[in-house]
Amino acid sequence: MIVTVTANPSLDRTIAVDRLRRGEIHRAASDRVDPGGKGVNVSRALVANGHATRAVLTTGGHAGTELLDLLGEAGVPVEEVPVSQGVRSNLTIAEADGTVTKLNESGPALRPTEIEELLVAAIAPTLDRPASWIAGCGSLPPGVGPDFYALLVERTRNAGARAAVDTSGPAFAESLRARPDLVKPNRDELAEAARTPIATLGDAVRAAQALRDQGASAVLASLGADGAILVDAAGVHHARAPLAGPVASTVGAGDAALAGFLAAGGAGPDALAAAVAWGTAAVALPGSIMPAPADIDLAAVEVTAAPDPDLVLR
Ligand SMILES: Nc1ncnc2c1ncn2[C@@H]1O[C@H](COP(=O)(O)OP(=O)(O)OP(=O)(O)O)[C@@H](O)[C@H]1O
Ligand SMILES: O=P(O)(O)OC[C@@]1(O)O[C@H](CO)[C@@H](O)[C@@H]1O
């Protein structure tokens, strides 16, 4: 079983417009609501592919009730931590050419007791059934200190599971000191952590290696249209896959990629290939719909050991 922990889940509203024009009224070509938050999406992708998971998340307010209803409809098993303020709503504006603009709320402030309840709930599923991974994903809402993921990694290790972290900023930097088994930065997060732009594959590999030096055992760095790299004790691998059709929405592609990686064992080039297959499948689907087996083409993924460091990223 793979447990996901989302301190700041969301209702993801997606409004499709032909083209976004600042300052103007737009009429939606279509709209949808998906359950959201990075860990929630990882669990949704795992369920869509028949893998055992449990999504640990905070809930509150009417949005929290709607989020739980949507997760129930999707068959996602949930470990709920009720909190006093309501779950946030995040808005995506999706343009016809595939451009997405995201407006994310900061989320409800958590009290110290609620933070501790969330950490306890994160480990609770392992009391019934062993967990291979506990993945802490997404931004932290107000009131939660940047040591949250470091604490989660420590408690994960004590519970006998492996720890994955997908976040950004100070919470990401602090998580490294607890030595997570896996981190999943995207290109922006790599650049932020390395304090340098990532223009080439070599830049990405160097930044990932720096994260390993700071404590991460393995780094799965997703690079958008350029696929993903895995940097671990065995070396460096790069994987990418052609996109079969137009980009529908990149929202949640990184979460689908992390889910694919963990579902395929959470280590090595085969798991990297699965990450890219699941991520590529996700971008062809609207909103943050997670790919099912029929959407995923593992055979289309090309994996390279010792890739060209001079490859310029798109
Ligand atoms: N434009 C694209 N074309 C092809 N594949 C893509 C594209 N964008 C993303 N992908 C696939 O999805 C994976 C994850 O994408 P990305 O690096 O954008 O994640 P992310 O920024 O963490 O996403 P999010 O935070 O929205 O979940 C990539 O590794 C790649 O396999
Ligand atoms: O604000 P955060 O926690 O960084 O990101 C939240 C979010 O943008 O991430 C998911 C896509 O990865 C969405 O479901 C959700 O709206």
Q: From ligand 2's centre to the CA of 138, what distance in Å?
A: 6
Q: Of the ranges 127-131, 184-188, 235-239, which one carries the lowest mean pLDDT score?
A: 127-131
* Residues with C-beta less than 6 Å from any ligand 2 atom: 8, 10, 12, 36-38, 41, 90, 102, 104, 138-139, 251-252, 254-255, 288
**Which ligand has its closest atom nearest to the C-alpha of 167?**
2
- Average pLDDT estimate for 222-250: 95
- Average pLDDT estimate for 293-299: 98
Angle between helices 268-283 and 253-263 (to 10 degrees): 150
Note whether ipTM > 0.95 here: yes
Q: What is the pLDDT of residue 39?
A: 98
**Per-residue confidence at 128, pLDDT binned at 50, 70, 90?**
confident
- Average pLDDT estimate for 259-269: 98
Active-site residue, 232 included: no
Q: What is the pLDDT of residue 264?
A: 98
Give the strand pairing for 53-59 and 78-82: parallel
Q: From ligand 2's centre to the CA of 203, what distance in Å?
A: 25
Q: What is the pLDDT of residue 222?
A: 98
- Average pLDDT estimate for 124-134: 93
Alpha-carbon span 240 to 117, nearest angstrom = 40
Whether 244 has a pLDDT exceeding 80, the answer reads: no
Find residue 137's DSSP bridge partners: 166
The burial of 12, by beta-carbon neighbours within 10 Å (0-12 exposed, 13-18 middle, 19 or more buried), is given as buried
Q: From ligand 2's centre to the CA of 308, what distance in Å?
A: 31
Alpha-carbon span 232 to 240, nearest angstrom = 18
**Which residue is catalytic, options 226, 255, 270, 308?**
255
Whether 119 has a pLDDT exceeding 90, the answer reads: yes
Could you read off the pLDDT of 36-48 as tens digits, one per residue?
Answer: 999 999 999 999 9
- Average pLDDT estimate for 137-161: 98
Could you read off the pLDDT of 45-68 as tens digits, one per residue?
Answer: 999 999 999 999 999 999 999 999
Alpha-carbon span 11 to 108, nearest angstrom = 13
Q: What is the pLDDT of residue 258?
A: 99
Sketch out the chain's domains with CATH numbers: 2-305 (3.40.1190.20)
Whether 82 has a pLDDT exceeding 90, the answer reads: yes
- Average pLDDT estimate for 242-260: 93
- Average pLDDT estimate for 173-191: 97
Q: What is the pLDDT of residue 85?
A: 97
Mean per-residue pLDDT over the chain, rounded: 96
Overall pTM > 0.90: yes
What proportion of the chain, given as a percentage, has pLDDT over 70? 100
Q: How close are the terminal C-alpha atoms of the chain, in Å?
A: 36
